[in-house]
Amino acid sequence: MFYIQLQDRRWNKPKSPNNKAAATCKPSEVEATNEKSSNFALIKTTEYIRNIQQVYYLEFPLFS
């Protein structure tokens, strides 16, 4: 709740353009592969962290 109250108080918010220019060239195969592997790594890392958190919360009462 405190974060929500302070979030709207930023005076110097960076403004991004609403309409970004469309890419005129097609990304290369290497860039596409890198993007796919980066997304896959991000998904797996997120899944790993969630599993660790779940194990921690489920097993913590057993040892306390």
pLDDT of residue 57: 87
User: Is position 32 within any domain?
Assistant: yes
For 17-28, the pLDDT digits (tens) are 666 666 677 778
Bigger pLDDT: 1 or 8? 8
41 by Cβ neighbours in 10 Å (0-12 / 13-18 / 19+) ranks as exposed
Q: In this structure, what is the dihedral angle of CA atoms 41, 30, 20, 42, given to the nearest 10 degrees?
A: 0
Per the domain annotation, does 51 fall within a domain?
yes
Q: Is residue 36 domain-resident?
A: yes
Q: Is residue 22 part of a domain?
A: no
pLDDT at 1 over 80: no
- Does residue 60 lie within any of the structural domains? yes
Give a yes or no: residue 44 inside a domain: yes
What is the domain range of residue 36? 27-64
Say how many domains are in the chain.
1
**Pure H helices in 1-28:** 2-7
Average pLDDT value for residue range 22-40: 84
Tell me, what's the pLDDT at 35?
Answer: 92
The reported pTM is 0.50
